[in-house]
Structure 1
Amino acid sequence: MNTDITYLGRVINVNSGSVEVEISKEIPSAAPIINGRLYKIGQIGTFVKFPVGNLTLFGLVSSVSNTPASIENIEYEPNYGSRFLQVQLIGEKLGNDPFEKGIGTFPTINDEVHLVTEDDLSRIYGVKSNGFIEIGKHASSENLPVYINLHNLVLRHSAILGSTGSGKSNTTANVIKRILEDNQGSRIVLVDTHGEYASAFEGKAKVFRINEKKNPLFVPFWMMSFDELSFFLVGRTEGQEKPEDKQLREKIIELKKVNCSKLKAGSVNPDYVTADSPIPFDIKQLWYDFDRELNATYNSGSDQIPANECLIEEGDPKTFKPASFTPYTTLNAVPYKSKRQTMYPYVGKIYSRIKDTRYSFMFNPSNYADADSANDLDDLLRNWIGNSERLTILDLSGVPFELIDISVGLISRFLYDSMYWGRFDDYTGRSRPLLMVYEEAHSYLPKSERTLNVYGYARKAVEKIFKEGRKFGIGAMVVTQRPSEISETILAQVGTFIALRLTNSGDKNTVQSSAPNNMNSLIELLPSLRIGEAIVVGEAINIPSRVKINLVEPRPSSNDPDLSKAWNKAFVADENDYKSVVLSIREQKVESKPKK
């Protein structure tokens, strides 16, 4: 076989991690032409093969030198060139069987080494079939498509990583489009914190936005757990339980029990209702009741019950009108001041939160406000994961920054719970898996316990999906430019990495420590990748590869502006310019127009 045109050389050293190869002196050129195609010998990241009988081993070139690493003080011929390769073994192929990752048999000294041709790679990557999607073309060949296993990509979880401007958004949009094109029963929820992806999926996705007339985004406050709601309303720290927290918990349970028999999705036994149960309740009534207890006056100093109130006028919770009472006296006489002052620190906080219009998507969710509303949580699920478009984009660009953490956590926990409790139903759970895509994940899934405005609610919910979601049919993909800032628990559960250019050494080292150990040579290429190129390693791809990602049109609105064109035009603002900008800032509406 050393007369074959693909013959490269022989094995001179083998260890558990790599194989050293001496290139034959008889090779006439460092760039032989095989079947009309030019191959460059010794390129970092290219493949070689080791025929061992009916078994073929495959490896990846990790380094090139003109002296062997395994032999010291060897004399070599001048101008002999770079004739020694370090190769990392990655997989094997027995006869006509499919390629398998991992090595069961190692090559031995003097075994032959051959170039891997495009035909060899075609047999490894195979042809497109059910359960596979094309992600792009092999970096060494524009004619060689690269396919990834959809099952492993989704249910074993994945990550798309890359510095800003490397093509990360295009890669995310490309993967989603390929899934939608080839799988008519697919379900994807994209958490889009910057509102970039609606333009790439116009007419092919259901987009929910705050203040959108057609598909407004609502995340009802009563879906929160008690820890989440009490933290957001009054700043209660998780794990603490002051007397006013106990009173708040009991009032929430009381109000939820009022509605538990009137729910449109089915009545709930009051004995099962807790402060964490996702049951609607009237939060304005909660404020009203506490305010009334706090400010009521009584005609008895000892028996302060509603019958003894010195009431002037009933209030109206719906309009935030408090009840009015005869003012108490400073003397020990009628009317007496209320003794129920426990909730004094909380009443004002609750009022200010509910009245803040930025939080209307939570506190005033049209058709989801209470048990008498038109919709229940089953309507929310049908809108998010049961719609005909199959891709749902939850545009959180209008969500106040301090609410991103809780909002993402709430969405994730709710969808996880729906897949868990519906895991045996025909229309959801294991019978119809769901992919969650988290864009800009570093901003709300940090590795540290607590950072500015991020308290770990999203991180805990998403970590649960990564750790347990596979069993219930829910997979996840994180998209980030800073993998070094992402939760280590999440990265540890990632089965497939699609890593574009990463110039930061900390980010590269994070990927290197999370990726398979024998892929170090590929990971070292990350800083030198071209825009739109990615290193794909992990469970979803047969053989780790450098891939040119397909370009998506229309593109997500994350591309750079044309600075030269913009700055070549002279501009002076007139008196009407910037009014719409200021209005958008004030109303938190990206598409606001100036009022005439």
Structure 2
Amino acid sequence: MHKKITFIGFITNVDSGKIDVRISNDIPSASPIIDGIQYRIGQIGTLVRIPLGNTMLFGVVDSVNISGVDQTKMTLIDHDLVNRNIRVNLIGEKIGRGVFQKGIGVFPTINDEVHIVTESDIKSIYDFDSTGQIELGTHASSNDLPIYLDLQKIISRHLAILGSTGSGKSNTTARVISSILEKFEGSRIILIDIHGEYSSAFPAKSKVMRLNSPDSPLYIPYWAMNFDELSFFLVGREAGSERPEDKRLREEIVRLKKENKDKIKAGSINEEYITEDSPIPFDIRLMWHNLNREVIATYNKADQVSQTRDNEMLIDEGDYSELIPAQFQPYTVDSKAPYKSKNQTMYLYEKKIFSRLSDNKYDFMFKPGGYLDGENKDLNDLIIEWMGHEKRLTILDLSGIPYELMDISIGLINRIVYDSMFWGKDEDYTGRARPILMVFEEAHAYLPKNQDSRYIYGYARKSVEKIFKEGRKFGIGAAVVTQRPSEISDTILAQVGTTISMRLTNSSDQSSVKATAPNNMTGLMDLLPTLRIGECIVVGDAIKIPSRVRIQKFEPRPNSNDPDIIKSWSHKFESKDTDYINVVRKMRERRF
């Protein structure tokens, strides 16, 4: 019998990053107690160690089997001939008193010993420099062993938090955000919250911006859109097309931006650099009024060249701020003045633009408070409200935004953040000097793999993909949170460096997660459907070693709990005539 109580058995096969271990028949117990702690030999997901002189290799148990069984009858042939075997994935090594490193430099050979990894061994593996770490939870095998994530790797290599509904995904997201805020006083985070769940979790630590809020109203100014975004939203123009009406729309937008170049709060802009994509305030109602005037005006001249404002048969200027068109003398049907306008190019576009501007559900874009003209508030004020305030956590509650605008709104938010970090990359108060973490909750709703919805145009996906591909160079990290990883953009998942996987029961979702995990971790990822609520498997750059982690409940909780059906349905409800009046008011005003 082997003298060391941690001894498990001997290596029988070495295959690249995997080894087979035959468990010794001489070990006294399959559940030895070491220093007062009970361990389970052969538990899938647990760690083992292989001592090789001054080097200690570590691996994760991938599978367990026995040999010496009559497979046709499923009976033991001879108890003494039965071999208990485990397959282990090698994951890293520790040389002497050095720190644990992922990867294997020296491989074991046949008959090398394999031992249980005790709690003291685990602590030596997870030995860390606390200055750059945030606490996630505790190791599944020990409530006394905290598990930490490397924040540098989260920001620079991005993060995914995945899990089926009810697995603890929102709790984990809140835990990660809270750990960052508690430890790093210069941190800043923007959380895209499309269901309005997280304001309850951070009542004192966050700035919550939502539509029609009396304290922190959310505005996304139309003039911050580039021409492709704005023209698509206004008139349905597809990117790349250039019809005569597109050219005229472009010209009018550029003209109005140039007219406003010396009035904006952030300072004058050189006219030579102004394009249709420049985020410069202009009055979109005035633009509509001008286009409408072209179409409906009458003139005292019949030829198109002479049909200018000097020759209009004007009765009343109207009021562009109230969407009241100008009035003109009616044109005649014979060849006498007033003559009908020959400028009918913008007839359909003008009608579509008027329809958009008249719909009050778009007011957060078309009536953006002090951001309307850029004189009172400019783009720098918007960026400060989103990124530069003292709370450090901004929750953009998009629950009141019309679904058809969700895609383009999120796309614009991300582009503004990205552009501000890109052009500010060398400033000492933003960019690389003060990175930011973008958190995308319920990401499957607006970052899909396929554009199979009439309201998903790809603006959000393209802007977020750019952050995942290039953001780290300018100080932008990203975390994607979803219950359907199989529906998320492949480009986004491919850029994720660390994955926190909660319970997943859907086979396609499990396959997507396995595809992002290291090749030798497939056995560990097979545990996904069996995880308990609040448990997760963490793999990737930000953690020392792939681990099964237990995450404690975060209080106060995000407002994502399921309703208590039994409690709610256990008492009788009495209907009143006044029921639903408050509900209808909120539906109409789109505010809580």
TM-score by length of 1: 0.96
**In 1: Cα distance, 2:407 partner to 2:212 partner:** 20
**Structure 2 CA distance, aligned partners of 1:29 and 1:80?**
18
Once the two structures are TM-superposed, the CA of residue 81 in structure 1 deviates from its matched residue by: 6.2
Partner of 2:73: none
- Is 2:318 the partner of 1:315? yes
Q: Does 1:38 align with 2:38?
A: yes
- Alpha-carbon distance, 1:128 to partner: 6.5
Equivalent pair of 1:536/1:546 in contact (CA under 8 Å): yes
Alignment of 1:145-156 (within 5 A): 145-156=146-157
For 1:313 and 1:63, how far apart are their aligned partners in 2?
A: 83
Q: Deviations over 1:364-420 (max 9, x none)?
A: 011100133x11111111111111111000000011101111111101011011111
Change (3 A) 1:450 1:226: farther
Following the alignment from structure 2 to structure 1, what is the Cα–Cα distance between the partners of residues 384 and 158? Answer: 24
Residue 131 (structure 2) aligns with: 130
Residue identity matched to 1:293: E
Superposed CA deviations along residues 50-109 of structure 1, whole A, max 9, x for unmatched, are 00011011011111111289xxxxx97427666100101111111111111111111100
Which segment is superposed worse, 321-330 or 243-252?
A: 321-330
Deviation at 1:179, TM superposition (A): 0.3
- Give the deviation of 1:450 after TM superposition: 5.1
Q: Report the Cα distance in structure 2 between the residues aligned to 1:79 and 1:443, rounded to whole angstroms.
A: 57
What secondary structure does 1:201 align onto? coil
CA distance in 2, matches of 1:163, 1:172: 14
Comparing 264-273 and 499-508, the one that deviates more: 264-273
Question: Given the alignment of the two structures, is residue 389 of structure 1 paired with residue 391 of structure 2, yes or no?
Answer: yes
1:376 paired with 2:362, answer no
Q: 2:434 aligns with which of 432, 435, 441?
A: 432
Q: Which range moves more in the overlay, 430-439 or 256-265?
A: 256-265
The aligned amino acid for 2:513 is: V
In 2, Cα distance between equivalents of 1:4 and 1:267: 78
CA distance in 2, matches of 1:549, 1:421: 38
After TM superposition, give the deviation of residue 168 of structure 1 in Å: 0.4
Q: Is the 8 A contact 2:211 2:398 kept in 1?
A: yes
State whether residues 128 and 147 of structure 1, in contact with CA within 8 Å, keep that contact through their aligned partners in structure 2. no
Q: Which moved more, 1:528-537 or 1:378-387?
A: 378-387
Q: What one-letter code is carried by the residue in structure 2 that aligns with 1:338?
A: S
* d(CA) in 1 for partners of 2:227, 2:585: 35
Alpha carbons 2:424, 2:430 under 8 Å: kept:
yes
Q: Which amino acid aligns with 1:111?
A: D
**How many angstroms apart in 2 are the aligned matches of 1:66 and 1:574?**
67
Q: CA RMSD in A?
A: 1.4
Q: What residue in structure 2 maps to residue 29 of structure 1?
A: 29
CA drift of 1:449 comes to: 4.2
Shift of 1:262: 2.0
Give per-residue Cα distances to partners, 1:265-300, cap 9 Å, x unaligned. 121111100111000000000000000000001111
Partner amino acid for 1:223?
A
Whether the 8 Å CA contact 1:66–1:80 is kept in 2: the answer is no
Task: Report Cα offsets for 1:520-541 as digits up to 9, x if no partner.
Answer: 0111100110001000000000
Distance (Å, rounded) in 2 between the aligned partners of 1:200 and 1:313: 55
Q: CA deviation at 1:192?
A: 0.5
- Secondary structure at 1:228's aligned position in 2? helix
Return the offset for 1:206: 0.5
Q: Do the aligned residues in 2 keep the contact of 1:64 with 1:82 (CA within 8 Å)?
A: no
For 2:457, give the aligned amino acid: Y
Q: Is the 8 A contact 1:284 1:318 kept in 2?
A: yes
Partner of residue 513 from structure 2, selected from 511, 527, 543 = 511
Residues 156 and 475 of structure 1 are in contact (CA less than 8 Å); yes or no, is this contact kept in structure 2?
Answer: yes
Structure 2: tracts of 5 or more residues without a match: 70-75
- Aligned counterpart, 1:460: 462
Provide the C-alpha distance between the structure 2 equivalents of 1:156 and 1:295, rounded to a whole number of angstroms: 56
Matched residue, 1:12: 12
**What is the distance in 2 between the residues matched to 1:296 and 1:42?**
85
Code of the aligned partner of 1:367: G
How far is 1:504 from its partner? Answer: 0.4
Q: Secondary structure at the match of 2:425?
A: coil
- CA shift, 1:550, in A, is 2.2
Cα distance in 1, alignment partners of residues 9 and 481 from structure 2: 42
Question: Do 1:450 and 1:456's aligned partners in 2 also have CA atoms closer than 8 Å?
Answer: no
Q: Secondary structure at the match of 2:57?
A: strand
Task: Supply the distance in 1 between the matched residues of 2:54 and 2:152 (Cα, whole angstroms).
Answer: 30
CA contact (8 A) 2:161 2:481 kept: yes
The count of corresponding residues between Structure 1 and Structure 2 is 584
Counterpart of 1:348 in structure 2 is 351
Q: The residue matched to 1:252 in structure 2 has which SS?
A: helix
Q: Deviations over 1:226-255 (max 9, x none)?
A: 000000001111111111011000100000
Cα 1:77/1:297, change in 2 over 3 Å:
same
* Preserved CA contact (<8 Å) 1:208 1:394: yes
**Residue deviations 1:332-354, cap 9 Å, x none?**
22111100000011111101111
Give the letter aligned to residue 559 of structure 1. Answer: N
Match of 2:366 among 349, 357, 363: 363
- Is the 8 Å Cα contact of residues 497 and 536 (structure 1) preserved in structure 2? yes
- Letter aligned with residue 483 of structure 2: Q
Inter-partner Cα distance in structure 2 for 1:434 and 1:544? 26
3-state SS of the aligned residue for 2:481? Answer: strand
**1:152-178 deviation digits (Å, cap 9, x = unpaired):** 012210000000110000000000000
Match of 1:72 in 2: none
- For 1:562 and 1:31, locate their aligned partners in 2 and report how far apart those are by CA, in whole Å: 40
Q: What displacement does 1:305 show?
A: 1.5
SS at match of 1:556: coil
Q: Confirm or deny: 8 A CA contact 2:449 2:489 kept in the other structure.
A: yes
What SS does the corresponding residue of 2:115 show, helix, strand or coil?
A: strand
State the SS of the aligned residue for 1:198.
coil
Partner of 1:594: none
Q: 2:81, 2:5 → 1: CA distance? A: 20
- One-letter identity of the residue aligned with 1:401: Y
Once the two structures are superposed, what CA deviation does each residue of 1:539-583 show, in whole Å capped at 9, x if it has no partner?
000000000012100000001111111111110210101111112
Instruction: Give CA-to-partner distance per residue, 1:306-365, whole Å, 9 cap, x none.
Output: 111111111111121111011112222211110000001111110111111111111101
Distance 1:540 1:294 in 2: 60
Q: Is 1:338 matched with 2:341? A: yes
Deviation at 1:264, TM superposition (A): 1.4
Residue matched to 2:99:
98
Letter in 2 for 1:345: L
- In structure 2, relative to structure 1, the CA distance for the partners of 1:344 and 1:99 (3 Å cut) is same
Looking at structure 2, the residues matched to 450 and 65 of structure 1 have their Cα atoms a distance apart, in angstroms, of 45
> Greater shift after overlay, 291-300 or 128-137?
128-137
For the 8 Å contact 1:2–1:112, the answer to whether it is kept is no
Percent identity of the aligned residues?
59
Does 1:196 find its partner at 2:197?
yes
- Kindly provide the amino acid, as one letter, of the partner of residue 463 in structure 2: A
Q: Sort the Cα spacing of 1:2 and 1:106 in 2 relative to 1 into closer, same or farther, 3 A.
A: farther
Q: Which residue of 2 aligns with 1:401?
A: 403
Q: Relative to structure 2, which stretch is displaced further, 55-64 or 124-133?
A: 124-133
Q: 2:293, 2:151 → 1: CA distance?
A: 57
Paired letter, 1:325: F
Unpaired segments ≥5 residues, structure 1: 70-74, 592-596
- For residue 573 of structure 2, the aligned residue among 567, 571, 574 is 571
Write out per-residue CA displacement over residues 431-471 of structure 1, whole angstroms, 9 at most, x where no aligned residue.
11100000010111111245330100011110111001111
- Cross-structure match for 1:113: 114
The amino acid of 1:352's aligned partner reads S
